[in-house]
Amino acid sequence: MAEEEVVRCDACPVLCRIRKGQAGACDRYANVDGKLVRLDPLVVLQRADKAVPFVDGQAWKGNFISTMVTGIGATTTYPDYKPAPFIVASQAEGVDMVTVVTEGIFSYCGLKVKIDTDRFLGPEQAAVRVEGEQIGHVTTAEYGSQMLALGGVRHLTGGSKKEGNVTCDAMLKLSNKEPVELRIDGGSTVVVQAGASPIVNGEREERMRVGCGSATIGIFARQWHGECDEVIVVDDHITGVLSEHQAGRFLDMRPAGIRVRGRKSTPGRYFKVAEPGLGWGGTNISDPLDIVEKIDPKTAWPGMRILMVSTTGEDAAWFVLNEKLIPEKGEMPAAVRAVVERIAENCEPALCSVLFMGGAGGSLRAGVTENPVRLTRSVKDLLTRVTCGGAPVYVWPGGGITVMVDVLRMPDKSFGYVPTPALVLPIEFTLRMDEYAAMGGHMANVVPLESVLKSQAIRYEPWQQ
């Protein structure tokens, strides 16, 4: 092939030499008739703003259309001394604004994954693997959710080539809302997909618990009062025992004399009643009586009515003490069953949430301004709004521009990758034109919105923010 038919892509450090009719290593750029072309269209968000009625009460028939150019398909600034690919002038409520748009290449990035389940996924710090490669770890659990920290520069660049590539691929899929099966050392296999229920060891999780065992006691104590003599809410973290709990005391409940296993934290609240697992309330038990250590004959009485229930209401059993104070399983009364069903009703659907986190405080700032620290300060001073694919981001306090964004709020297929390996994230900085000029922005490269819309292949998406 003639040398002139090969184009060099310089949009990332890989510097692909692309033959005519072929795409580069990331499938985002191609050689089309000897020209380097970004294959995906530029994504532009539009929304119809609410029409304001005229003073005489007649509604205005037209719509105000707000338009935003996103970084999706925008190309990049690499090697970063160049101004951003699109620096777009527009007006918002009569104010001259500018949006600086680019596709950032992120080696320093990771995913925070929240999985709404009590089921045991794996011990804290355990390795999370795809294709046998470690791509992250289990981190601190939250209320009703297990948390994973995936990706990050160490897995992308600090291990073997395969570890980096597998990590990059898994992050790309999760960021683009696709499912990925994760295997956790010493724990479970879980299929994670943003916005979908987790599938733990082949079973789809339906419900997120209403609260911990103690909170469940607090919420439903009054509804159980008079119907049960004791309620034990089984939970891997905090198991609640109604008659001992402050809620039971407020209701003047008679002490029931049932001692559960584990470590008593405060009255009616017990830690570690069992090991973590896939059973009742995220424990490893399938028979709830396994957590009963003893029944005090001086306090308990024959005929005592006991409800044992999990924090989602998925598991529940009814017992009555016989003459020897041994619990006998029986038919749950309808009134008690109704409260168990109310626990389930109060559980939200179990979902996976995927938040992308990355540091935009590096060289891509040079595409915005000649004096990058001014962009950082402007973001911190709330003069510049950062968005990713038009979605709002959380900007971490402290140094740099470290952002976190919910991938579900971004348009589909927002993310790309390059084989260095690294993720490609669309990012936009929007601020007043006068502020942009003052921070040393690339004013000579500002173009009107209309000219961008005319000159590019555009994919319009609804602007939901």
- Chain contacts with ligand SF4 (rule: CB under 6 A): 9, 11-12, 14-16, 24-26, 28-29, 418-419
Nearer Cβ to ligand SF4, position 14 or 289? 14
Nearer Cβ to ligand SF4, position 31 or 384? 31
Report how far Cα 17 is from the mean position of its chain's Cα atoms. 37
Distance CA(173)–CA(332), nearest Å, equals: 46
CB-nearest residue to ligand SF4 = 24
- Closest distance between ligand SF4 and the C-beta of residue 32, in Å? 13
**CB-count exposure of residue 173 (10 Å: 0-12, 13-18, 19+):** middle
- Closest distance between ligand SF4 and the C-beta of residue 20, in Å? 14
Tell me which DSSP letter residue 28 carries.
S
Q: What is the DSSP string of 353-389?
A: EEEEEEE--SGGGGGTBSSHHHHHHHHHTTSSEEEET
C-alpha count within 13 angstroms, C-beta hemisphere, residue 300: 21
| E strands present in 193-280 | 199-200, 203-204, 230-234, 238-241, 258-260, 263-266, 269-271
Nearer Cβ to ligand SF4, position 25 or 219? 25
- Closest distance between ligand SF4 and the C-beta of residue 178, in Å? 20
- Closest distance between ligand SF4 and the C-beta of residue 111, in Å? 21
User: Measuring CA to CA, which residue among 410, 396, 445 is closest to residue 101?
Assistant: 445
Both tokens of 109, joined, read 């990035």
- Closest distance between ligand SF4 and the C-beta of residue 42, in Å? 16
Q: What is the DSSP string of 165-176?
A: HHHHHHHHHHHT
Bridge-based pairing state of the strands 446-448 and 86-92: parallel
Nearer Cβ to ligand SF4, position 15 or 92? 15
Bridge-based pairing state of the strands 199-200 and 6-8: unpaired
- Closest distance between ligand SF4 and the C-beta of residue 405, in Å? 22
Nearer Cβ to ligand SF4, position 38 or 374? 38
- Does residue 78 contact residue 10 with C-beta atoms inside 8 Å? yes
- Closest distance between ligand SF4 and the C-beta of residue 73, in Å? 13
Nearer Cβ to ligand SF4, position 262 or 419? 419
Nearer Cβ to ligand SF4, position 11 or 423? 11
- Does residue 318 contact residue 273 with C-beta atoms inside 8 Å? no
Nearer Cβ to ligand SF4, position 21 or 333? 21
Q: Mention every residue, 6+ apart, whose C-beta is less than 8 A from residue 63.
A: 48, 49, 51
Q: Mention every residue, 6+ apart, whose C-beta is less than 8 A from residue 236.
A: 118, 120, 273, 274, 276, 277, 281, 282, 283
Nearer Cβ to ligand SF4, position 276 or 416? 416
- Closest distance between ligand SF4 and the C-beta of residue 132, in Å? 26
- Closest distance between ligand SF4 and the C-beta of residue 84, in Å? 16
Nearer Cβ to ligand SF4, position 66 or 420? 420
How many C-beta neighbours within 10 Å does residue 158 have?
A: 10
* Residue type, position 404, single letter: M
- Closest distance between ligand SF4 and the C-beta of residue 12, in Å? 3
